[in-house]
Amino acid sequence: MRWESWPHGEAFLKEWEQLLSHKRIPAAMLWVGPEGVGKTPLAWTLAQALLCPKGDLAYACGTCGDCQVVAKLEHPFFWLLPPTGGGKPLEEALPLFRQALSQDPFLSLSEWEKLLLGGRGSLSIGVEEVRHLQGFLTLASTQAVWRVVLFWHAELLTRQAANALLKIVEEPPERTLFLFLATRVEALPATLRSRCQIKKFPPLSAQVLEKLAGTSLSVAQLSLAQGSYSRLRRVMDPAQAPYIEALRAWLRALLQPAGDTDWLPLIETLAQAPQLSDLLLMGVSLIREHPHLSLPQKNLGIDTFLRVADEIEAHLNPLLLLAEATVTLRQYWQKK
Ligand SMILES: [Zn+2]
């Protein structure tokens, strides 16, 4: 796995080499940034660099036995903690997670949720998983090798799990790196955050997105993607096209004088979108850039969209939520 293959890779490598040269490798790092900016493939590349016995902790050889098992996410000292749910224990979820991530290092949380739970239930990293981790960490490592523990979407750590972790991170075993990847920094308790070196990953530039997509992108595509490669792929997915079109048409309908457009078929289409909460987040960028809305109107629209997206994540009835949002927004957006 090569640093330069991933967004932010070369910049991160420079910072990492700095830490190495000062022998200041932190015991825990918290990487924060939106989904789809490359945190996961970078963490994976870093794990390989640390676990390769022939490397220098910055570059892996890429060919030895250890490198090969890290590349398959099967290295015993690369401990993966993705969120699970639906009563599925980690052991059951892991083979699926390894497979999904190997096929797509930019796997999104909603894709993972769909894969693991089929859209039923919700995901978290629970205290049971942390107890398993404790067992793994107390196993004496016979060689002077590194261990890497990756919390994928650490914002989904339960309070209890985060508390159980505190003690471990406070007194970390030697040569162990805890990597917490999260989309929101404040979702982790301050006590845990304060033990981590925090690094922020900004959204990707248009140039980087075009390089990843291997094609030039329209202004509309870039604006919907909001600097996230995972979101860009959904924007470009032909299966999503009718839903994106329904979203645009619904927004237009909301802005027209009452009675002109029949919005019910539009929200019926939208309610069937497989990734509706993501779609609403795309809607947020459309509202933000809308030329005819005032700032307070934009803010109310954005708040409404974000709230509905959250409630859909909580499995409330999407059609009902969209109908309520329609009433609220029509009232407010048509006020002059
Ligand atoms: Zn190697």
- What digits encode the pLDDT tens for the residues 144-180? 689 999 999 999 999 999 999 998 998 888 889 999 9
- What's the 61 CA to ligand 1 centre distance in angstroms? 4
Measured in Å, residue 64 CA sits from the centre of ligand 1 at 4
Whether residue 182 is found in the same domain as residue 36: yes
CA 48 to ligand 1 centroid distance, Å:
7
Same domain, 244 and 179: no
Structural domain boundaries enclosing 244: 237-333
Q: How far is the CA of 59 from the centre of ligand 1 (A)?
A: 9
Question: Are 169 and 255 in a shared domain?
Answer: no
| Residue 221 within a domain | no
The CA distance from 240 to 219, in Å, is 18
Question: Within this chain, do residues 143 and 272 fall inside the same structural domain, yes or no?
Answer: no
| Average pLDDT of span 274-292 | 85
Provide the mean pLDDT of the chain.
Answer: 90
**Confidence tier at 277 by pLDDT (50, 70, 90):** confident
Q: What is the mean pLDDT of residues 127-138?
A: 87
* pLDDT for residue 143 is more than 70: no
Query: What is the 56 CA–ligand 1 centroid distance (Å)?
Result: 10
Residue 174 Cα to ligand 1 middle (Å): 21
Task: Give the Å distance between the CA of 63 and the centre of ligand 1.
Answer: 5
CA of 50 to the centre of ligand 1 (A): 9
Ligand 1 centroid distance, CA of 68 (Å): 7
**pLDDT for position 138:** 79
Contacts of 103 (CB under 8 A, 6+ apart): none
pLDDT at 142 exceeding the cut of 70: no
Of 177, 202, 227, the last residue of a domain is 202
Q: How far, in Å, from the CA of 51 to the mean position of ligand 1?
A: 7
Same domain, 20 and 73: yes
Residue 31 lies inside a defined structural domain of this protein: yes
In a shared domain, residues 198 and 251: no
Burial label for 61, CB within 10 Å (0-12, 13-18, 19+), is middle
Does 41 lie in the same domain as 156?
Answer: yes
pLDDT of residue 95: 96
184-216 core/surface letters (b: 16 or more CB in 10 A; e: else): ebeebeeebbebbebbebebbeeebbbebbeee
Mean pLDDT of 259-276: 85
The reply to whether 218 falls in a domain is no
Ligand 1 centroid, distance to 60 Cα (angstroms): 5
Among 176, 202, 228, residue at a domain's last position: 202
Q: How many other CB atoms sit within 10 Å of the CB of residue 106?
A: 22
Does position 7 have pLDDT exceeding 60, yes or no?
yes
pLDDT class of 186 with cuts at 50, 70, 90: confident
One domain, residues 130 and 268: no
pLDDT at 207: 95
Q: What is the pTM of this model?
A: 0.85
- How remote is the CA of residue 49 from the centroid of ligand 1, in Å? 8
66 Cα–ligand 1 center, Å: 6
Read off the CATH number of the domain in which 78 is found.
3.40.50.300
217 belongs to a structural domain = no
Q: Quick check: is 279 in a domain?
A: yes
Tell me how many domains the chain contains: 2
| Amino acid at residue number 162 | A
Average pLDDT over residues 68-83: 95
Beta bridge partners of 28: 178
- Residue 219 lies inside a defined structural domain of this protein: no
- Residue 29 bridge partners (DSSP): 179, 197
pLDDT of the residue at 137: 85
CA pair distance 54, 63, nearest whole angstrom: 10
Per-residue model confidence (pLDDT) at position 112: 93
User: Per-residue pLDDT averaged across 1-24, rounded?
Assistant: 93
pLDDT of residue 9 exceeding 60: yes
> Strands 28-32 and 197-200: what pairing?
parallel
Is the dihedral angle over the CA atoms 212, 35, 25, 135 positive or is it negative? negative
Domain final residue pick, 156, 182, 202: 202
Q: What is the pLDDT of residue 253?
A: 87
pLDDT at position 144, please?
Answer: 65
Q: Distance from the CA of 325 to the center of ligand 1, in angstroms?
A: 54
Q: How far is the CA of 47 from the centre of ligand 1 (A)?
A: 11
Q: For residue 31, how far is its CA from the centre of ligand 1 (angstroms)?
A: 25
Residue 231: inside a domain: no
| pLDDT value at 336 more than 60 | no
Q: Are residues 143 and 283 in the same domain?
A: no
Same domain for 17 and 116? yes
Statement to judge: residues 171 and 262 lie in one domain: no
Mean pLDDT along residues 217-233: 88
53 and 99 belong to one structural domain: yes
Kindly state whether residue 216 falls inside one of the protein's structural domains.
no
User: Is pLDDT above 70 for 258?
Assistant: no
